Amino acid sequence: MNTVEFTLYGSVLDSAYTVLIERLRGLSDPKFEKFHEHELVFANKNVKAGVINWHVRRSLDQPNAPYHVKYMGDNEADVNEKCPVNVRKVINCLCTSNDMMAFLGDIGFRMQYEFVAKGILFKKGPIKVTVSKIYRVIEAGNSSAVEKFTDSHLVEMSALSSFPEDPIANTIREFADQLKP
């Protein structure tokens, strides 16, 4: 089964963070989760398919949790110019490994970059909204040696579907419009 992800990205200055969080608490489902994750992005050049990227995340709060591995395809072209969000194919899986770096290296992938994200995950039905502070990893592989990347937070809205023409795209856009200042 092909899975597509509908996404919108934005940012909010640190000075407006509290207002956004309060608004999301009012508009989203009552339960929310805090997260603190280390993400590494790996790439492998395949001559036929071009560059293939895998995003590998692990929880820093729960060290025994499995790795979350995600393939994200390129944004799909909106032929009719009617889709209000980005659409791309994705593959998500959970993995356990004693050495994920060695495993990906053995199959031809090399790390491109890494970062630490700390934030809050909200849900509104099938829509996930994350508000994350992104930190640059100063020393490769050391997720505790970080520095602030910007004076803002990354805001990501997403939903998964089996259908590229799913009406959830409009629902995401409408929900995002409610968060405008």
CATH among 3.60.15.10, 2.40.320.10, 2.40.50.100, 3.90.850.10 for 3-177 = 2.40.320.10
| Assigned token pair, 78 | 């909106």
Domain segments of the chain as ranges: 3-177
Each residue of 40-54: pLDDT tens digit? 999 987 667 678 889
Residue 17's SS3 state is: helix
Taking the C-alpha atoms of residue 91 and residue 112, their distance in angstroms, rounded to an integer, is 19
pLDDT digits (tens, 9 = 90+) for 125-174: 999 999 999 999 999 888 999 999 999 999 999 999 988 777 898 899 99
Cα→Cα distances 99→66, 105, 107, 167, Å: 12, 10, 13, 40
